[in-house]
Every structure is written in structure tokens, then in C-alpha cells.
Amino acid sequence: MKIPISRITGTTLILVCAQAALADSVGYFTDNGTPGDQAAVISASGNTPVEIIDITTFNFSTVKAVFLNEADNGGPSVALGNRLADLNSYVSGGGHLILHDRFVAITEDVPSSHQFLFGHPEIQVERNFSNAADIDLLPAGTVAFPSLTNLSLDNGTSSSHGFAFAATLPSGSVQYLSRGGAPAETVAFQYGYGLGSVYYSTVPLDYYLNHFDGDTDLDANMASMASNAINAALGQPPAIVPEPSAYAAMAGAGLLGFALWRRSRKA
């Protein structure tokens, strides 16, 4: 069974019981940055966090999913780039890649393929900031992210760093988020590859899990989104996660057993 998560709001203790499913091991790594609340997000999803300390040697087959954040606007590190073939094999063999990507592409406003979108070079993504503060839930997103609305992920700097063109996604893809008012500009989607799947998002999640923006409610909403993205990728029911104020309080108190790193950078 998954481990219940406890939270305190005022004087009321609420036990949040996760779904009756086996907890999966989820490896987490932030490329070119620090993990921030990644472990807490995995725990809130009801799964088991496994820190990837050395991306050059980690055995991906030891975890059910790899929860990867790209924290550099200039692209993946050489160390991560050298593991692309291994990640490809891992996913096709039954693993799940969950990538939140602040990079998206080298050149702004120019559609391009993406090296992490295994098996589908026809998928076109674009690094774009014309409507970067507005994210809407697509129909699948309203199911996957039950505690969020079309306003929950808005007003970040930036809430997304671009989008994928929905028309280029492979048949059977599930689309969760889009640019506000532009459902054809997909911000988060998932598709099957071999025996596994790839979940890809243009949300610069590292920024919010490290609390660089100073917006407690938005940080918590991003964390809630990420927890449920993990379960969506794993084919599990949505996680029941703390409301924003409670989640932030737990994080600040260190009750989820992780350290917060802070550094000054623009999302």
C-alpha cells in the first residue's frame, strides 16, 4: 500500500490516504541545478524517491520512473547528454521518463525536434515567451490535476518556456496542459514508447521547486501539478496532495525530510 501523508492546517490534523496501489521507486535528478522539493513531490504522490546523485553512472533499471528537471536555459549537460541512449533503452524497455524542461530548444520562436522525445523526431517544440505566464488545463489535465484550475499555474516568470505543436504529437498521446487560450500549444503531454512512456513539459519546474520566485501559492500549485504528473505517467490515480498553504508550511519546516536550496536565477 502507499504510505499515508499527514498535514496540519491550523489545529486540524488531516490524514491524506494515498491510493490503494503499490508505491513505485522514482529516481529524481535536476540537471545543471539543485533538486529543491523533488523528493517531497515524489513522496506526496505516494511513491518512493530515489536520488540520482551521479547521472553518469546511475542504473536507470533500478527505478520505475526517472523524474528529470532540466534547469539550464542553454540545454542539457554533457553528462546527461551522454546518457541519452541509455534513457532511450530504459523507456523502450518499460521505464517512464518525466521531464520538465526550461530549455525546450536552442533558438526562440523556431520549431524544432527534441532529443528527449524518443522515437518521434516529428514532434515539434518551440521555445517561446509570448504567452508564458498563462497555462490552461486540457480535458485530461482536469482529471490528472484535480486540485488545479486554469488560474493555478498562471503568473509565473515564466510559467512555461514554450510548447509543443499539438498537431505533431503521435497518435494516442495524452495532452494535459496548454498555453492559455491556445489548446494547440501543448505545455505538457505524454506518449507511449515501446513498453514505457515519455511525459514532457515546458514548465521550468526547478524554479518553483527551489522557491526562487517567492510566490508560495504558485510554488505549491506547481508541486501539486508535479506530484500528479508522476502518477499520470505511471498510470496511477491522481494523488491527494496538501493545499498550497499546508504544503508550503511543511516544506518550510522540513517535515518531508529534505533541504531547500536557494540561488538567484530567472526562470
Tens digit of each residue's pLDDT (9 = 90 or more) over 199-247: 999 999 999 999 999 999 999 999 999 999 999 999 999 987 655 544 4
What is residue 84's three-state secondary structure? Answer: helix
Tens digit of each residue's pLDDT (9 = 90 or more) over 86-138: 999 999 999 999 999 999 999 999 999 999 999 999 999 999 999 999 999 99
Tens digit of each residue's pLDDT (9 = 90 or more) over 172-198: 999 999 999 999 999 999 999 999 999
What's this model's pTM, rounded to 2 decimal places?
A: 0.85
Domain limits for position 218: 5-253
The pLDDT of residue 249 is above 50: no
pLDDT for 209 equals 98
pLDDT for 22 equals 63
Is residue 174 a part of any domain in this protein? yes
What is residue 233's three-state secondary structure? Answer: helix
Q: Are 220 and 9 in contact (CB under 8 A)?
A: no
Is residue 259 a part of any domain in this protein? no
How far CA 108 is from CA of 26, 100, 111, 128, 163, in Å, comes to 32, 18, 8, 6, 11
pLDDT for 93 equals 98
Place of cell 516568470: 157
pLDDT for 241 equals 62
Query: Average pLDDT of 243-265?
Result: 41
Is residue 58 a part of any domain in this protein? yes
Is residue 261 a part of any domain in this protein? no
Is residue 266 a part of any domain in this protein? no
Is residue 12 a part of any domain in this protein? yes
Identity of the residue numbered 258: F
Provide the grid cell at 223: 508541486
| Whole-number Å distance between alpha carbons of 46 and 243 | 16
Is residue 260 a part of any domain in this protein? no
Tens digit of each residue's pLDDT (9 = 90 or more) over 140-155: 999 999 999 999 999 9
The pLDDT of residue 261 is above 60: no
pLDDT for 240 equals 74
CATH number, position 171: 3.40.50.880
How many domains, the chain?
1
Is residue 149 a part of any domain in this protein? yes
pLDDT for 266 equals 52
Q: With the C-alpha atoms ordered 14, 24, 227, 70, is the resulting torsion angle positive or negative?
A: positive
Q: Give the count of beta carbons closer than 10 Å to the beta carbon of residue 170.
A: 14
pLDDT for 178 equals 98
Mean pLDDT (the chain, rounded): 87
The pLDDT of residue 5 is above 80: no
Q: Residue 150's closest CA among 162, 138, 161?
A: 138
| Whole-number Å distance between alpha carbons of 262 and 211 | 7
Residue 3 binned pLDDT confidence (cut-offs 50, 70, 90): very low
How far CA 125 is from CA of 77, 117, 177, in Å, comes to 20, 10, 14
The pLDDT of residue 20 is above 50: no
